[in-house]
A and B are shown apart, each in its own frame.
Chain A
Amino acid sequence: MFSDVTSVALRVALGGLSARQRATADNVANIDTPGFLAGRVQFEDSLRDAVRSGDVRRIGSTGATQARSLEPTREDGNNVNLDTESISNTDTVLRYQLLTQAVTDRMSLLRTSMRTS
């Protein structure tokens, strides 16, 4: 019942978004650490390719990848930009709410069709 393309894609995306939020917290905590490069989480592109292929198993095994940002650094070697991180956090939180709403909507749709009175 829950292993169609949409359910699995939503699950993978939710996992990717929480990984992104953890990376943002890590970046902000290390905003003054010399030599620290900001961490970036990617999953949207590989998820899109997996969805286009239609293979549910491939979608389910799509993971979030972590990479270090190569943006220019300040004198102490740190390249964390507070504005970028707070915008990214706002965006991640909003996306997370939308996707959890999507999961809830689908479950309540199933529940509606199971009603007998």
Chain B
Amino acid sequence: MGIEAVGGVSGVRGVAPSLASLPTGSVAPAGLVEQPAGSADVTQAFGAAMARGLQSVEAMEATADAKAVQAATGDLADVHDYVIAANQAKLATELTVAVRNKAVEAFSEIMRMQA
């Protein structure tokens, strides 16, 4: 319809490709790696999960934006529609950001260990 998602969340979007391109085995803690072949799958699965999560967050934000524009033009019949959509987008974003931050923290910690 021509309504863009919030442009400023690009910071979250930019993390997924870098997670997916992490060197094999660096996500799992050093002492728990049993099968080196499995950790590559773990990395890719994690990256794919992050990407899916980001897509659904973007979709929720787009819904909340659309409802806000409807409210602005006076076409919103139920106010709770907008409030619920906005809250869903907010919670989904907070969850995604928390997961991203934890992943980055874990990665930094592992890099510190190896150094």
Q: Do chains A and B touch in the complex (CB under 8 A)?
A: yes
Within 8 A of A (CB), among B63-115: 64-65, 68-69, 71-75, 79, 82-83, 86, 89-90, 93-94, 97, 101, 104-105
Q: How far, in Å, is A89 (CB) from chain B's closest CB? A: 16
* A interface secondary structure, majority: helix
Interface of B, helix, strand, loop or mixed by DSSP: helix
Chain A window 86-109, contacts with chain B (Cβ cutoff 8 Å), 1 for yes, 0 for no: 000000000100110110011011
Q: Quick check: B9 and A6 within 8 Å, CB to CB?
A: no
Give 14 A-B contacts (CB < 8 Å), ordered by A residue.
Answer: A5-B65, A6-B4, A9-B69, A44-B73, A47-B72, A51-B3, A54-B3, A98-B82, A99-B72, A102-B68, A102-B72, A105-B68, A106-B68, A115-B97
Name B residues whose Cβ lies closer than 8 Å to a Cβ of A.
1-4, 6-9, 11-12, 61, 64-65, 68-69, 71-75, 79, 82-83, 86, 89-90, 93-94, 97, 101, 104-105
